[in-house]
Each structure stands twice: as C-alpha cells, then as structure tokens.
Amino acid sequence: MKINNFFYILLAAYLATFLRLFINNNFIISVIGSFLVGFFISKRFSYSIQEILLTGFFSCFTSFSGFIYFLYKILNQGAWIKFIIFFNLIIILNLFAMFVGFWISRKIT
C-alpha cells in the first residue's frame, strides 16, 4: 500500500472520530455505521478506497469499544436479562441495518 493511502486512512479516521463527538449515542452510531457499511460494500470500489472507508472511517466511527462499554455498564448493574436483550438486539439490528444498506445501494445502481 502506498504512503498516500496511509495518510488518507488517518484522515478518514480523524473525521470519523470528530463526527462521533457530535452523536453521543453508541446505539445510534452503530446502526448508522452498519447501514453505511452495507451501503458502501455493495459498491465496487478500488482496494484503496475500500481500505480508506472501511479501515479508516467506519472502524473509528463504529468503534467496537463503545459497544462493549455500553454492555459493560449494563452488566455492572447486575441486569443480566437486560444485558442479554441488548446484546441480541444490537447484533440483530446492526446486521439488519447492514443488509438494508446493501439492498438500497443495489437498488439505486
């Protein structure tokens, strides 16, 4: 990979982190991010554009650590049932949002 691509990945990661500050809700961020990932993976971009979007932007925008921290707070409260419901709900909704994004992107093109 060229050095320019590393710069673009870092720039995309910075922009995603900055955007994440304005949306202070991990659940909404993960659903929006999953939708957008599904939308963009259906496009046939070059390898470097995919790396910039998926590795740079979406990895920072939909950070896994935010999802884990959200579940950790629920688990620390001792709410096992709530933990199991949210864990499954987040996984299912994110997969569904990714599928819808992929489907919409295919219908547009």
Q: pLDDT (tens digit, 9 = 90+) per residue, 4-44?
A: 888 998 899 899 988 888 888 888 888 898 999 999 888 88
How high is the pLDDT of residue 90? 87
Position 76 pLDDT exceeds 90? yes
Position 46 pLDDT exceeds 90? no
Nearest to 101 by CA among 53, 69, 48, 67: 53
Q: Are the beta carbons of 11 and 72 closer than 8 angstroms?
A: no
Element (H, E) at 49: helix 47-50
Distances (CA, A) of 102 to 39, 45, 78, 82, 88: 4, 14, 37, 30, 21
Domain ranges of the chain: 3-108
Position 108 pLDDT exceeds 70? yes
How high is the pLDDT of residue 23? 84
